[in-house]
Chain A
Amino acid sequence: MRCSRCGAKAVFSPPPSCARHLIAAVEREAARTIRERRLLRKGDRVAVAASGGKDSTACLAILHRLGHDVTAIAIDEGIKGYRGRTLEDLRRFTSENGIPLEVHSFEEEFGATLDSMLARTKENPCTACGILRRYLLNKHARRFDAIATGHNLDDEAQSVLMNLLRNQIGPLTRLGPATGTVADPKFARRIKPLYFIPERTVAAYAFLSRFGVRFSECPYASTAYRADVRDLLNRLEQRQPGTTRTVIDRFLELLPALRERYAPDGEVASCKVCGEPARGSRCSACALVERVVRIE
């Protein structure tokens, strides 16, 4: 198989590409998404939610190479045997590339690691992790113009299906390449520059760019509902290539109508415990911490 652009031996397909042309195509696609979806303006300061994994490292590298002003913000949840190693990769990557890095941990902010919280509760790992991680990211990245995440095409299609299958319409309205249905200075805009790039393509980009990141998985990931949806979608994709992209294309057509009809109205209060944005009297992070940390 030969690269469709230069005829050199292909190292990736589809489309058949050599390393150089795969890397260029990924960066071009991300730049196009940023431009067409108006994710960033010139001079915007961007926080990249970085974990040291391939997707967020790719996102960080691409924004940096495209000339944006980036800072990596990492959350150390406290996942033994996993996060320590990916954060080590991230420290090396950011220092080699001269990118500022901030690390905030569950332990220092909530008084316990994710591992120890989970040992005391039947809470779903990824639900608890997600609530606390989003909370810390929003809190620490709000001073930036946007928070970029490494979500790729497959991640997003999984999220669309998960919300439909679990009958959650509200969260569906918060998906899309840029989120900010709530116009509130307490929330940072969230953007997904890798939105239209398949997971396997992002992985090849990270590998061929020699970022030196691990292709490992969080020990809790297989417990997630997402893992089942991901397997299902991957099987369907194998049978009918293009399925994942179709989910996203149709979703994006429906999104404006969904937001119009189902987006929660703009009323956001402040958490009585921490002062962060909340829908009720306490934010979901404080409510969770109360349940799983301060129970003795």
Chain B
Amino acid sequence: MIVYLESTEEEKRISFSGTVKMLLAELRINPHTVLVARYGQLLVDDDTVSDTDRIEILSVISGG
């Protein structure tokens, strides 16, 4: 899976399939601070993502 972190414009490749909630735990990201999207669609905690997906993590923190 490709994980794209929009705040830092960083892209990483990891091996993962499971729920969004598990993905954020794996990435050590506080779910309260992000939105997770796949191909422009927002996902919720219990949506499942697979190893072939490209997932975008959007930080919701207001910076300036």
Contact = CB atoms under 8 A, between A and B. Distances in A.
Interface of A: 1, 10-13, 16, 19, 51, 53-55, 79, 82, 129, 150, 152, 154-155, 199-200, 202-204, 207-208, 214-218, 220-221, 230, 234-235, 237-238
Contacts of B64: 51, 53, 79, 82, 129, 217-218, 220-221
The 4 closest A-B pairs by CB, nearest first: A217-B63, A218-B64, A203-B60, A221-B63
A53 B58 CA distance: 13
Given A1-B46, A214-B6, A215-B7, 5 more contacts: A1-B45, A12-B42, A203-B35, A204-B42, A235-B30
Interface in B14-43: 30-35, 37, 41-43
Contact of B42 (A53, A82, A154, A207): A207
Interface residues of B, number: 23
Given A207-B35, A215-B7, A235-B30, A1 B44 contact: yes
A234 B37 CA distance: 21
A10 B44 contact: yes
B62 interface: yes
B18 to A, nearest CB: 15
Nearest to A55: B62
B32 A215 contact: no
A53 B7 CA distance: 13
Contact of B6 (A1, A202, A215): A215
21 contacts: A1-B44, A1-B46, A11-B41, A11-B43, A12-B44, A13-B44, A53-B64, A55-B62, A82-B64, A152-B62, A155-B62, A214-B6, A215-B6, A215-B7, A215-B59, A215-B60, A216-B63, A217-B63, A221-B63, A221-B64, A238-B32
B43 A216 contact: no
Given A1-B44, A199-B62, A204-B42, A234 B30 contact: yes
Nearest to B43: A11
B42 A238 contact: no
B63 A218 contact: yes
A240 to B, nearest CB: 11
A204 B35 contact: yes
Contacts of A200: 32-35, 60
B44 A16 contact: yes
B34 to A, nearest CB: 8
A161 to B, nearest CB: 16
Contact of A13 (B6, B30, B45, B58): B45
Contacts of B63: 53, 216-218, 221
B32 A237 contact: yes
Contacts of A203: 35, 58, 60
Contacts of B31: 238
